[in-house]
């Protein structure tokens, strides 16, 4: 299944705010925002990537830091920031996601923001920034009225200004090509960032994760996680078990549905007998038409 940002043509690589809002709302409307947040697999994956991003961010352990969550969505990463004792501000372009975050009463301050238009925070406001599965959206659009370098430049330049010195910004993202990686990293470097890519489990198709670890000030780029043969096999087994579980759940749902349809007449007959026993008047008599499925004409 394609990721949402890949639905539009790849050669169209920029949006104005209204166009992005329309494009994202197709995928993160009210219903989809609720489904996304309630999905246990999404929660698990989001938690793993957020914890890894925080590890790469290397914030002080003995004090609370002020963190910017870029593309905060419904606040799943923000909850982990809360657990780690940090204070955070979240920005997102999807109103429905922010509404879910408000309903969940997350602790962070929330802003409706198109990150491609840049930030308006005061210089040196944040001790760090994280972003999970977001910055690839800057390379996709429904209009060619703007160029991606302009959006990337505004984003990284304003972010660099909003971070104190020294600090870090860590982005987990899903580039679709090496050209996208080059475009993003080059824009970050031109904005004044140091750092580079950190790739976890580079030899595993399923577990491989890419993080852009950017530095304000002179710092050493952390290394990615390498998996040994035993760990790779364990991850593969986990993927196989997940596929098996989904298939079994699908079969169970099908059986339950069939069983419910088979037993609906028995249920109706028992209900009618119960009403008659209680002396309820007007209970229809039993016939071959009892509990029949009626046609819908509109």
In whole angstroms, give the CA distance from residue 256 to residue 265. Answer: 15
260 and 123 share a domain? no
pLDDT at residue number 5: 41
In a domain, 260, yes or no: yes
Dihedral pair phi/psi, residue 115, rounded to 5°: -65, -20
183 and 263 share a domain? no
pLDDT at residue number 243: 75
Record the pTM: 0.69
Total tally of structural domains belonging to the chain: 2
152 and 267 share a domain? no
Q: How many residues does the chain have?
A: 298
Query: Tokens 């372009």 correspond to what residue?
Result: 93
In a domain, 296, yes or no: no
Range of the domain at 29: 4-226
271 and 199 share a domain? no
94 and 186 share a domain? yes
247 and 214 share a domain? no
CATH number for the domain harbouring residue 102: 3.40.50.150
pLDDT at residue number 33: 67
189 and 238 share a domain? no
- Write out the chain's pLDDT in tens, 298 residues: 444 444 443 333 333 444 444 444 444 456 676 776 678 888 889 999 999 999 999 999 889 999 999 999 999 999 999 999 999 999 999 999 999 999 999 999 999 999 999 999 999 999 999 999 999 989 876 556 667 899 999 999 999 999 999 999 999 999 989 999 999 999 999 999 999 999 999 988 888 999 999 999 988 888 888 866 556 666 667 767 777 887 887 777 666 555 555 677 888 888 888 888 878 888 888 887 787 776 655 4
The number of helices, as runs of H, and strands, as runs of E, in the chain is: 8, 7
pLDDT at residue number 13: 33
197 and 263 share a domain? no
In whole angstroms, give the CA distance from residue 121 to residue 223. Answer: 30
173 sits in which H/E element: strand 163-173
């Amino acid at each position: 299944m394609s990721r949402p940002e890949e639905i539009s043509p790849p050669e169209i690589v920029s949006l104005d705010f209204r166009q992005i809002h329309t494009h994202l709302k197709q995928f993160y409307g009210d219903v989809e925002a609720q489904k996304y947040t309630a999905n246990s697999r999404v929660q698990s994956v989001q938690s793993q990537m957020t914890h890894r991003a925080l590890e790469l961010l290397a914030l002080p352990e003995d004090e609370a830091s002020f963190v910017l969550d870029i593309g905060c969505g419904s606040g799943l990463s923000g909850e982990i920031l809360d657990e780690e004792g940090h204070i955070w501000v979240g920005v997102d372009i999807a109103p429905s996601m922010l509404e879910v975050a408000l309903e969940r009463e997350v602790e962070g301050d929330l802003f409706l923001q198109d990150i491609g238009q840049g930030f308006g925070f005061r210089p040196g406001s944040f001790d760090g920034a994280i972003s999970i599965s977001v910055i690839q959206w800057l390379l996709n659009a429904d209009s060619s009225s703007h160029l991606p370098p302009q959006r990337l430049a505004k984003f990284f330049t304003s972010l660099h200004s909003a971070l104190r010195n020294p600090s870090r910004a860590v982005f987990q993202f899903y580039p679709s090509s090496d050209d996208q990686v080059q475009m993003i990293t080059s824009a970050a470097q031109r904005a004044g960032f140091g750092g580079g890519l950190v790739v976890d489990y580079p030899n595993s198709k399923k577990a491989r994760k890419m993080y852009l670890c950017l530095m304000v000030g002179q710092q050493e780029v952390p290394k990615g996680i390498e998996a040994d043969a035993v760990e790779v096999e364990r991850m593969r087994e986990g993927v196989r078990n997940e596929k098996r579980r989904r298939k079994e759940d699908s079969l169970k749902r099908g059986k339950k549905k069939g069983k419910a349809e088979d037993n609906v007449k028995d249920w109706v007959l028992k209900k009618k007998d119960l009403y008659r026993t209680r002396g309820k008047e007007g209970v229809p008599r039993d016939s071959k038409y009892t509990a029949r499925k009626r046609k819908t004409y509109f």
